Amino acid sequence: MKSLNLQIIKKFIYSHQIEIILGILVGVISGSLTNFIWQNNIFAFSIGVVTGLIFSMFYHKFFYWLTSQSWFPSWILKWFSKKKIPLWGREKEIRRLIGEIKTGQSSIIVGIFGSERTAILDYLREVITGTPFIFSYLNIGPIAGDAQKKLEFGTVQFWEDALKPLLEEKNDDVQNEFKSFYEESKKRNFEHSSLETLFEQIDQKGWRLVLMIDRFHKIAHLDKLNDPSFFASLRALGSHANGPLSLILTIGESEQLLQLRTLDPGKLYEFNFMNEITLGALPEEQIEDLLAKNGITVTEERLWIKECAGGHPYLLKKAIELLNTTDRSRTFLSKFFFTSPKLETMKDQFLEEIVERELLQKNLIAHTDMCNALFSVVEGKVNMTHFKALNELRRQGFLDKSNEQWKIHSPVIAAFLSKKVQEKDQLCGVK
């Protein structure tokens, strides 16, 4: 019991660092002022310290109220948002990716939520700076979604975009020499032998190109780029540890790589040198830590968030944001005296905005096998055809398996999907 109480105290201190620091500062300042005014009166000093502690207790609620007002300057909010990097439970994956980038390795990030994958790439570019790393970012999604680009985008356009950050380096002497090799490779349509020579130059300059290809699986829709020679060239250039090229690819599910036109269809030789990082659910202890860091201390709210999100960081983030939005809509006085919002109403909003629109309509609709497998669990009709998709859903944190029985991680989502089955609603879209 003693160790449990100590752990709770530690978590409280960790999640309220700003309030505690401000409380100490305000306490010391106000205590010193009152002490000065009352000429070394200990009682006056004590009143000042207590004032500081009270301020610290209600600081975060006051800040939420203040920033939600229409007259509050937007540039201050933007400044604060730049300082905050919402990893939302992905610290472990981030640390691993940073280590792999710094040792010249390549990785594939697998996760159904595209915005979560992109946020990780953005964060990596922000925290890893300076020589020898030069980052290049390509998003294949918009290219595959543009009718004209879809037909025209090939190897030349790809390497022009990928190598653009290298051409923007400021050292003129180095640049002039590099540009000549670049132009020569471009004349040869960036064929593999010319790319090898070009990357040898990159290596000699002491650079390392970190090429991030977001929504890599969308290359399957680009006829000119979806070619075995292109994937073979990527492998040859990126498979050397501490070499001049590191690849960071993002995809929605592992099976999407099999849709690419590789040398040996149905096999993934071109990508087996990469480390796969799957964005799955968090263990209970990490979920508790994440809620504490975000100031969710009321037991009722913690249970509601965990039941809705089922341990997946992206869904946890959305549930917390929804809770904070509801919190901001209260009156000024209720900011200081906590009253729990109607969680049942918020649950309906979570199901409509997050589960229906984002999980089903925006993401699962592009993963027909995973969608069908998820509903097979709801209907109790799991069979061998769903095997790969079920395991993918488990890796990504949506399903659990116990005593050979599959179960949806979030009971709230499970009940919602069961209702859709009963209503004979359209369940899964077409790829």
Q: Write the pLDDT tens digit of every residue in 145-196.
A: 998 888 899 999 999 999 999 888 666 655 677 888 899 999 999 999 999 9
Q: pLDDT digit string (tens) for 89-144?
A: 888 899 999 999 988 899 999 999 999 999 999 999 988 887 789 999 999 999 99
- The predicted pLDDT at position 423 comes to 77
250 three-class SS? strand
Q: What is the pLDDT of residues 269-295, one digit of tens each?
A: 999 999 999 999 999 988 988 888 777
Whether the upstream peptide bond of residue 132 has omega within 30° of 0, thus cis, is yes
Picking from 263, 252, 261, the residue whose alpha carbon sits closest to that of residue 220 is 261
279 within 8 A of 254, measured Cβ to Cβ: no
Q: How many other CB atoms are there within 10 angstroms of residue 323's CB atom? A: 23
Instruction: Write out the residue limits of the CATH 3.40.50.300 domain(s) in the chain.
Output: 91-278
Quote the pLDDT of residue 260. Answer: 93
Distance CA 126, CA 120 (A): 10
The larger pLDDT score, comparing residue 50 to residue 23, is at: 50
pLDDT at 343: 78
With bands split at pLDDT 50, 70 and 90, how would you rate the model's confidence at 24?
Answer: low
Give Cβ neighbours of residue 172 (< 8 Å, ≥ 6 apart).
none
Averaged pLDDT of the chain: 81
Buried b (16+ CB within 10 A) or exposed e, 90-101: beebbeebeebb
Q: Which residue has the higher pLDDT, 53 or 86?
A: 53
Query: CA Rg, the chain, in Å?
Result: 26
Q: In this predicted structure, what is the pLDDT of residue 431?
A: 42
Tell me which CATH homologous superfamily contains domain 91-278.
Answer: P-loop containing nucleotide triphosphate hydrolases (3.40.50.300)
**Cα–Cα distances in Å, from 156 out to 2, 187, 223?**
65, 10, 13
Per-residue pLDDT at 249 exceeds 90: yes
Q: Which residues have a Cβ under 8 Å from the Cβ of 176 and sit 6 or more positions away?
A: none
Give the three-state DSSP class for 212: strand
Distance CA 129, CA 125 (A): 7
